[in-house]
Structure 1
Amino acid sequence: MAPVAMRTVAQSLSDALPVSYWLDDPGRPAPQPALTGDEHCDLLVIGGGYTGLWTALLAKERDPGRDVVLIESKEAGWAASGRNGGFCAASLTHGLANGIARWPAELPRLEELGARNLDAIEAAVARYGIECDFERTGEIDVATEPHQVEELKELHAEAERLGLGDGSVFLDQDEVRAEVDSPTFLGGVWDRDGVAMLHPARLAWGLKEACLGLGVRIYENTRGLELTSSGAGMAVRTPYGRVQARRVALGTNIFPSLVKRIRPYTVPVYDYALMTEPLTPEQLAAVGWKNRQGLGDSANQFHYFRITADNRILWGGYDAIYPYGGKLDSEYDHRPETYLKLAGHFFTCFPQLEGIRFSHAWGGAIDTCSRFSAFFGKAYSGKVAYAAGYTGLGVGSTRFGADVMLDLLAGERTERTELKMVRTKPMPFPPEPFKWTGIALTKWSLARADERSGHRNLWLKTLDRFGLGFDS
């Protein structure tokens, strides 16, 4: 990038607040008091993100008389649930291609369950009056290189062959630019019904309010420190007290699980996003976007972007940063060099928006696993259930994960618990330094593949053969 252009890019970030746009909201609710002393319940939910909130809500919907407690180490929705792009997808498999590669036999069933799950989210938003700017606009997968056009055509044709193409349409260059105008767009596939756009933090806050309304007792700023078996139930120690529960559901995302044996299955990958100031009517007309879809490009190192209710553009992705040792630290929440890179890519995509400024810049950790989609299980003789590894697609699929955990805790055989996806685990990550080396080599190889018309080197082909991988 030329120096003048770099100065322009840097200037666009000069007023950006280092906080998630979604969390920087005057409607952010006050936290619930911390737990002090002893508490007893039928079900204890640990984690106040989407997984935990959906679990508590569905538990009460299944059995209104069930006594449910939820504890959260900080505030509900403060981590990934309040920092993501707000893409609420029906897919439970991190997209069709990943589903075809990993669970081809049961993919039609997974797609059906995913569609039902998204319908249920939409119904819950309406039922509880959650004001989260829910818009079922769909998403366009965009090709920005010639080989990506062919790959999208092949995937769309495969979906139609499997009977899974309803609701999606292939767009040529003129058609995709008629939807959202960028000189970089060469084609795309528009999933018209399988993705909704929403305000992610307000969804979390709305779920919290709904839980409280159904009688869930929520304690924030209450970290679960230790999980032990206690007679017929479980005990969880907290900083100022203890909870005795018959059953425990863990929705702790990337944070170290209280069931230590599942920790090797996830790694934290830091993802970053920018939010523009609101577009003027002239700027909005220059890009089109009348149908307000979410978009993502088709590179290995991809960007995701969408327009908000107040006509800002969120622009995120591309850099996926794994800290050595899987360290979680707030210092990784911000990365100016990534913000500069993202801003430069933004103006390449939308040169007609030169001069627009970014109001917010932020990052956060994604719970990444080697198969890109959530895994589930039980511990302590079925008294504890967990769901983790959503790999950036948890806005929608966490509700499915909550249902799976409740099925497992009830000891029920259901259409969910019979799935191979639910009954199997991803490959765990190796210890350091092999983990860091493997992830770094994979990222380098993916970047090389983007530069070489999608050609995958021997390392990537080996990972493919063993069902492993890493995606930004």
Structure 2
Amino acid sequence: MSELDGASSTPLWLDDPARPAARPPLIGDTTADLAVVGGGFTGLWTALLALDEEPHRSVVLLEAGRIGAAATGRNGGFCAASLTHGVGNGMARWPDEMPLLHRLGLENLDAIAQAVDELGIDCDFERTGELDVAVADWQLQGLREDAEALRRLGEQPELLGPEETRARVSSPTYRGGLFDGRGVAMVHPARLAWGLAAAVEERGASLHEGTRVTGVRDAGDRVELATPHGTVRARQAVLGTNVFPSPVRRHRAFVVPVWDHLIATEPLSAQQRSSLGWEGREGVGDAGNQFHYYRLTADDRLVFGGYDALYYFRSDLSPRRERRPETERMLYRHLVETFPALEGVRIGHTWGGAIDTSTRFSASWHRACGGKVASVLGYTGLGVGATRFGAQVSLDLLAGRDNERTGLAMVRRKPVPWPPEPVRWAGIQLTRRSIARADAHEGRRDVWLRTLDRLGLGFDS
């Protein structure tokens, strides 16, 4: 009998009695000052921030499925300050702007913590920080480089030796670590989304689930958003579709869906929990190209994911991709290799979800319909925190604001779009194989990866 037998296919965060009942779909035509497409973090933060700016603004939010049920409710629950997919990626792409990007990211995380507190959202928000661990000697240099970059930005990260790392979290696989105490929080992501949705409704917004937007059209001083059973005519709109095909076709080439999988144990026994140490409850990620991330929940389950990032031909998003037994078994093997004392622990939940991946691994902003529509997408796995910043910049762009956010090169310039099929599929598969070879050969990058590095492209698992 396998430890995965009987595991629920419902993502852990969504398998919660606190999940609200579905809201009704839009039936008939309506008007609004602002239409928001997408009921994930991007859309919810957009609606909340818009109503904080203008309490009397009429806002309609349209979600094709259930609020928080896609990437928002399927991630590991890491809420990071980074807007650039880590300090290394940011330094490589926007070195001159990194002090500003770093400050804005920390301010954004502080604002999320403040909103959770002021709105009274019960989402297990813990400002724990994150421990990056080396599980091979070649990964130590990358940790040293990240530590130095953080110091140049005014941080005081702790670079740890093997024993110091294992004193924080007890695993025989650790060769060293880097602890950043300010830049990451742990959160129950679905409860955060549900709390934001309730706050938006309390401010007067209309939320509609089961309402797919099939098209967006410029209609003079308004935009028209078509749905199966009605049309929304709005002065402005923000699109937060992320991994799902945008109703503005030309925006679709800027992201591809990469599938990520996670497993979650049953609540650990007192003995199992004690074997891990882990008194700081920080999030943990290892420093390989193919990497794991893992954390403890409020009821002491271990959530363990990552490593096997998968792209399917023609950007397949069908629900059949949500379970992949070979990846689930691999994650279990890696969990037990990391924590041998958990050999035999039962898995309660296993699930997958798609991440909107950009060629620069971070968000980009796009306009349509004469500037009345703003779109943000491409968070590449760090959207739990960065979506609030993405929403704020989208509202800035619609308002025509010239400020430190809209002046960023990250905002003004678009990433390289993904190529069409079959070149897209072939390039991603070649990159995945090269990344696996690099991990197996002390991080040495082959000609293909070095070429992508020079072009500022690549694929981050």
Using the size of structure 2 for normalisation, the TM-score is 0.99
User: How many Å apart are 1:231 and its aligned residue?
Assistant: 2.0
- What is the CA distance between 1:15 and its match in structure 2? 2.3
Report the Cα offset of residue 326 of structure 1: 0.7
The aligned residue for residue 455 of structure 2 is 466
What displacement does 1:153 show? 1.6
TM-superposed CA distance for 1:331, in Å, is 0.5
Structure 2 equivalent of residue 402 of structure 1? 391
Using the alignment, how far apart are the partners of 2:379 and 2:291 within structure 1? 17
* 1:208 equivalent among 187, 197, 201: 197
Q: Secondary structure at the match of 2:241?
A: coil
Query: Are residues 1:145 and 2:136 paired?
Result: yes
1:381 counterpart SS class: helix
Alignment equivalent of 2:207, drawn from 198, 218, 221: 218
1:380 maps to which residue?
Answer: 369
| Residue ranges of structure 2 left out of the alignment (5+ in a row) | none
Secondary structure of the residue aligned to 1:11 is: coil
Tell me by how many angstroms 1:432 deviates: 1.0
Superposition pairs of residues 130-141 of structure 1, within 5 angstroms: 130-141=121-132
Aligned to 1:172: 161
Match of 1:434 in 2: 423
Aligned to 1:77: 68
User: How far apart in 1 are the matches of 2:83 and 2:168?
Assistant: 26
1:334 deviation in Å?
0.7
TM-superposed CA distance for 1:150, in Å, is 2.3
CA deviation vs aligned residue, 1:367-386 (integer Å, no higher than 9, x gap): 00110000012111110000
Determine the C-alpha separation between the residues in 2 that align with 1:448 and 1:128: 47
Q: Which amino acid aligns with 2:167?
A: A
CA distance in 1, matches of 2:360, 2:446: 19
Question: Is the 2:70–2:353 contact (alpha carbons within 8 Å) kept by the matching residues of 1?
Answer: yes
Q: How many residues align?
A: 461
The alignment partner of 1:22 has SS state of: helix
Q: Percent identity?
A: 54
CA deviation map 1:122-154 (0-9, x unaligned):
000011110000000000111000011122123
Q: Which one of the candidate residues 152, 177, 182 is aligned to 1:188?
A: 177
The equivalent residue for 1:330 is 319
CA distance in 1, matches of 2:437, 2:125: 37
- Tell me the residue number matched to 2:85: 94
RMSD: 0.8
Taking the aligned partners of 2:144 and 2:31, their CA distance within structure 1 comes to 55
Cα distance, 1:108 vs. partner?
0.4
Write the distance in 2 (CA, Å) between the matches of 1:247 and 1:163. 37
Which residue does the alignment assign to 2:54? 63
What displacement does 1:155 show?
2.3
Matched, 1:268 2:254: no
Distance in 1 between residues matched to 2:87 and 2:421, nearest whole Å: 32
Question: Which of these residues, 333, 351, 359, is aligned with residue 344 of structure 1?
Answer: 333
Shift of 1:253: 1.2
Report the AA paired with residue 423 of structure 2: F
Is 1:31 the equivalent of 2:18?
A: no
Q: 2:94 aligns with which of 89, 103, 115?
A: 103
SS at match of 1:321: coil
Give the partner amino acid of 2:89. N
Q: Which runs of 4+ in 1 moved over 3 A?
A: none
* Cα shift readout 1:341-388 (whole Å, capped 9, x = no counterpart): 110111110001112110000001100011000001211111000000
TM-aligned CA deviation for residue 88 of structure 1:
0.2
CA separation in 2, counterparts of 1:155 and 1:365? Answer: 27
Q: What SS does the corresponding residue of 1:149 show, helix, strand or coil?
A: helix
Equivalent residue number for residue 124 of structure 1: 115
Note the 1:228-243 alignment, pairs <5 A.
Answer: 228-243=217-232
Counterpart in 1 of 2:153?
163
CA contact (8 A) 1:382 1:411 kept: no
Amino acid in structure 1 at the alignment position of 2:2? Q
Question: Which residue of the partner structure matches residue 347 of structure 2?
Answer: 358
- Amino acid in structure 1 at the alignment position of 2:50: A
User: Aligned letter for 1:196?
Assistant: A
Q: Secondary structure of 1:249's match?
A: strand
Letter in 2 for 1:303: H
Distance 1:153 1:265 in 2: 32
User: Structure 2 counterpart of 1:218, which letter?
Assistant: L
Question: What is the CA distance between 1:164 and its match in structure 2?
Answer: 3.6
Q: Distance in 1 between matches of 2:421 and 2:57?
A: 43
Deviations 1:382-406 (A, max 9, x none): 1000000000000000000000000
Task: Tell me which residue corresponds to 1:3.
Answer: none
Query: What amino acid sits opposite 1:316 in the alignment?
Result: G
Displacement of 1:469 in angstroms is 0.8
SS of equivalent to 2:91 = helix
Give 1:398's aligned amino acid. Answer: T
Partner of 1:42: 33
**How far, CA to CA, are the matches of 1:342 and 1:433 in structure 2?**
29
Counterpart pick for 1:444 among 433, 457, 460? 433
User: What SS does structure 2 have at the residue aligned with 1:365?
Assistant: strand
Q: Is the 8 A contact 2:11 2:351 kept in 1?
A: yes
Residue-by-residue CA offset, 1:36-89 (whole Å, 9 max, x unaligned): 111100000000000000000000001101111101001100100000000000
| TM-score normalised by L of structure 1 | 0.97
Q: Which digits, 9 at most, give the CA deviation of each residue in 1:180-227, with x for residues without a partner?
A: 000001111011011000001001100100100111111111111111
CA distance in 1, matches of 2:290, 2:255: 20
Contact 1:138/1:191, CA 8 A, preserved across alignment: yes
Q: What's 2:4 paired with?
A: 13
How far did residue 310 of structure 1 move?
A: 0.4
Q: Is the 8 A contact 1:48 1:76 kept in 2?
A: yes
* Counterpart selection for 1:320 from 284, 309, 314: 309
Q: Please tell me the residue identity of whatever aligns with 2:187.
A: L
Q: Please tell me whether the aligned partners of residues 45 and 56 of structure 1 are also in contact (alpha carbons under 8 angstroms).
A: yes
Q: Secondary structure at the match of 1:189?
A: strand
State the partner residue of 1:303: 292
